[in-house]
Structure 1
Amino acid sequence: MSPREDILGLVRDAIGRSADSPPPSTPEYANAALIPARARGTPSELVRRFIDLATEAESTIDRIATIAELGTAVAGWLADNDLPSNIVAAPDPALDGAGWDDTGLTVRRGAATGEDLVSVTPTFAGIAETGTLMVTATPDNPYTLNFLPDTHIAVLDTGTIVGGYEDAWARLRRNGEKGGDLPRSVTLITGPSRSSDIERIVTIGVHGPRRLHIVLVGKADGEETQ
């Protein structure tokens, strides 16, 4: 016998099995993820939970009916918070109808540089379980937009808010199966960047934006009209 077979024989003896023993049966639920209750609910409940948990993580939230209102909403929020009116926005077609004209904003479309202070990006999904954004890096949504500017404005369609992380990954896989390109990277963002590496003191903006502002577009099924 080889040393490997000797070791396997000792293991089998210890658990009361032989080389001829059939493999143990595996319960069907063994590989199923245990989904917490807060990751389940109706579309309107998931939207409300996403808002609550994103706010708890120190994100700010705004809501608009259509993407055409985005430019006005962004301009108003920046002015209210004394933030720059020069922004860099993803060249993603999802932002093409954002209504930037006549807002007083100076908008550049493309990747962020170290000089950019405010970015605007689309998001792939929102995760209600933790108030988290799933953002994909594509040629139309450069990775730098999520990390370099001090202020990140993320645009989220309420129809893409899912319950748990498993739902978000499943949505990404379905997108690939339908012919969409899988992204080079996926970033999960919960609130502004923070770190407690130094003396366990939480510091905002060390590894990314100091502010995360989420603009929700549209209403989920079952939500009341305001």
Structure 2
Amino acid sequence: MEPGRTSRRVDMSAARDAILGRVRTGTGRPDGDQDAARSAVAERLAGRQRGLQPRRIALEAEDLVDLFVEKAQAVEATVSFVVTPADVPEAVADYLRGRNLPAEAAIAPHPDLDTMDWEAGTMTVERRPPQDADAVGINRAFGAVAETGTLVMAAGPESPSTMNFLPASHIAVVRASEIAGGYEDVWDRLRAAGRGRGKALPRTVNMITGTSRTGDIEQIMQTGVHGPKHLHIVVVKEG
């Protein structure tokens, strides 16, 4: 370890604690009672009036899935369906063959993905964070929004945010039951999931709508400049 690194880290921690202490004192919470603060926020959110929901998302569950697929495909994502989680590896292998991509991928260490037999899909996977050179990355979506065809990715040890951006082709797995009509429904689920684990919201929540794209001053659209060039979504119909 570099000499002095430990002492600098301690000094930075002390400075951070001092700054946060002044903030807590200024806001009337010198004890830093996070549980009380979270309870107050939860109470305020529970009593709020929900925003207006578009009529087009007042649908039954199956119709929400159809709307999600329609919206996702409109922004150049591709979608395939499987019946059970055990069918996911073969569906991914089929997608890679259709794109003439190598049958290998970096895969997020999510429990749902760990239980799948990837070798059955004639694939080679490495459970690790992605690297710049990875052609394919696979992770598990927290949910999706039918209104806009958007994937909701909650960051955590089992779902690193870098998996959403570094691989050239991003493959996300989501259950049909996790496709919500609008954004407020997803945020409700995120808060409930956090409370169930005794935690706050995830450090990062990425909303992904279609492939990465950008346009220059001449309005020429480019894909894959700031993220994956291809986005494929595998929807699991059953648990």
Whether TM-score is above 0.5 comes out as yes
2:70 is paired with a residue whose SS is helix
Comparing 48-57 with 178-187, greater Cα deviation is found at: 178-187
Decide which of 153, 156, 161 is 1:135's aligned counterpart: 153
Instruction: Quote the Cα distance in structure 2 between the aligned partners of 1:195 and 1:123.
Output: 23
How far residue 169 of structure 1 moved from its aligned partner, in angstroms, is 0.8
Partner of 1:152: 170
How far residue 178 of structure 1 moved from its aligned partner, in angstroms, is 1.8
Instruction: Quote the Cα distance in structure 2 between the aligned partners of 1:203 and 1:93.
Output: 35
Instruction: Quote the Cα distance in structure 2 between the aligned partners of 1:153 and 1:84.
Output: 14
Paired residues of 2:85 and 2:238 also in contact (CA < 8 A)? no
CA-atom RMSD, angstroms? Answer: 1.6
2:102 is paired with a residue whose SS is coil
Instruction: Quote the Cα distance in structure 1 between the aligned partners of 2:216 and 2:183.
Output: 26
2:51 is paired with a residue whose SS is coil
Instruction: Quote the Cα distance in structure 2 between the aligned partners of 1:208 and 1:126.
Output: 19
1:102 is paired with a residue whose SS is helix
Partner of 1:73: 91
State whether structure 2 residue 223 is matched by structure 1 residue 216.
no
Partner of 1:12: none
Instruction: Quote the Cα distance in structure 1 between the aligned partners of 2:194 and 2:167.
Output: 29
Comparing 105-114 with 171-180, greater Cα deviation is found at: 171-180
1:152 is paired with a residue whose SS is strand
Instruction: Quote the Cα distance in structure 1 between the aligned partners of 2:238 and 2:159.
Output: 24
TM-score normalized with structure 2 length: 0.76
Decide which of 46, 49, 57 is 2:75's aligned counterpart: 57
Partner of 1:112: 130
Decide which of 90, 94, 99 is 2:117's aligned counterpart: 99
Paired residues of 1:125 and 1:161 also in contact (CA < 8 A)? yes
Partner of 2:40: none
Structure 1: 5+ residue runs without aligned partners? 1-29, 221-226
2:118 is paired with a residue whose SS is coil
In the alignment, residue 111 of structure 2 is paired with which amino acid?
P
Comparing 147-156 with 102-111, greater Cα deviation is found at: 102-111
Partner of 1:171: 189
Deviations 1:59-83, CA, capped at 9 Å, x for gaps = 1010001111111111111011101
- Aligned CA distance change for structure 1 residues 32 and 105 (closer, same or farther; 3 Å): closer
Deviations 1:53-105, CA, capped at 9 Å, x for gaps = 11111110100011111111111110111012120011010112222123321
How far residue 209 of structure 1 moved from its aligned partner, in angstroms, is 0.3
In the alignment, residue 52 of structure 1 is paired with which amino acid?
E
How far residue 126 of structure 1 moved from its aligned partner, in angstroms, is 0.8
2:121 is paired with a residue whose SS is coil
In the alignment, residue 195 of structure 1 is paired with which amino acid?
T
Paired residues of 1:192 and 1:212 also in contact (CA < 8 A)? yes
Instruction: Quote the Cα distance in structure 1 between the aligned partners of 2:171 and 2:198.
Output: 25
Paired residues of 2:106 and 2:134 also in contact (CA < 8 A)? yes
Aligned residues between the structures: 191
Richer in helix (by share): 2
TM-score normalized with structure 1 length: 0.80
2:93 is paired with a residue whose SS is helix
1:156 is paired with a residue whose SS is strand
Instruction: Quote the Cα distance in structure 1 between the aligned partners of 2:167 and 2:214.
Output: 17
